């Protein structure tokens, strides 16, 4: 069974590379091997944020929720797949990919696309990642469909929407979905053990000003069948982030 520590993804929801590196330097030695690079950090720092995490030895969950026309999303997932093996050549004014570099660092481990983009977009997203990975001879990242944000209300309409989105993701061939713990057990029952479930909004206690309504504890998420648990603010706002990780792990029954 996968250790609980290996299921935790710390969200680097900060606005500078220096802050992000600070948390990786603290938490990687504490056992956190997965870090989320989302819209805030990626907009501020671009691919360098991904490269920084990988250089530390950790893996990257690239959570940009790609949602656009199929051609654009296919190109985006392809670019995301090759982030760690590509550099910008100023002389040529273009991106240069090096297969040799691919042996020095793992590719993006997992990335998100938004299921609201529809069937053809999801197919294109998967195709872009598969083709790029094959061309570089590197593993394809997991492509995970975002179903509904955890800031959405928890009601029957939300659960129905999430289930429909997950069925589409499964039919297309995506590796799994992002969903709240309130839908995770339903996903596991419906789609089996091989369908990856990523659960955001993991909390230890209520966070002041929290805009996420469908939150859960680590124990609740694991019991529901989640494979990966995304936690950000409870760790990032703590005086001692490493101790919060220990606190989270102590909550889990041995």
Catalytic residues: 65
Cβ neighbours for 28, distance < 8 A, ≥ 6 positions apart: 56, 57, 58
- For the chain, the maximum distance between any two Cα atoms, rounded to a whole number of angstroms, is 56
Alpha-carbon distance of 119 to 243, in angstroms, equals: 43
Instruction: Return the closest-CA partner of residue 241 out of 4, 2, 8.
Output: 8
Q: How many CA atoms lie within 13 A of 102 on its CB side?
A: 19
Cβ neighbours for 199, distance < 8 A, ≥ 6 positions apart: 178, 179, 180, 181, 184, 216, 221, 224, 226, 228, 229, 230
- Return the DSSP state at 166: H
Alpha-carbon distance of 201 to 238, in angstroms, equals: 16
């Amino acid at each position: 069974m996968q250790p609980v520590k290996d299921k935790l993804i710390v969200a680097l929801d900060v606005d500078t590379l220096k802050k992000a590196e600070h948390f990786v330097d603290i938490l990687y030695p504490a056992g956190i091997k997965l870090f989320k690079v989302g819209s805030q950090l990626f907009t501020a720092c671009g691919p360098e944020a991904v490269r920084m995490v990988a250089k530390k030895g950790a893996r990257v969950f690239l959570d940009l929720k790609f949602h656009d026309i199929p051609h654009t999303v296919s190109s985006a997932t392809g670019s995301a797949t090759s982030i760690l093996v590509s550099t910008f050549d100023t002389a040529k004014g273009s991106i240069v990919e090096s297969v040799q570099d691919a042996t020095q660092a793992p590719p993006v481990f997992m990335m998100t696309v938004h299921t609201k983009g529809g069937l053809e977009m999801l197919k294109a997203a998967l195709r872009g990642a598969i083709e790029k990975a094959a061309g570089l001879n590197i593993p394809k990242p997991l492509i995970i469909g975002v179903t509904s944000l955890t800031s959405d209300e928890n009601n029957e309409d939300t659960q129905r929407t999430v289930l429909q989105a997950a069925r589409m993701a499964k039919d297309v061939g995506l590796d799994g979905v992002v969903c709240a713990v309130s839908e995770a057990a339903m996903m596991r029952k419906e789609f089996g053990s091989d369908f990856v479930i990523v659960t955001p909004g993991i909390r230890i206690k209520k966070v002041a000003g929290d805009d996420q309504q469908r939150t859960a504890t680590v124990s609740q998420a694991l019991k529901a069948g989640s494979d990966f648990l995304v936690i950000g603010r409870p760790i990032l706002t703590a005086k001692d982030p490493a101790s919060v990780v220990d606190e989270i792990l102590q909550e889990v029954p041995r």
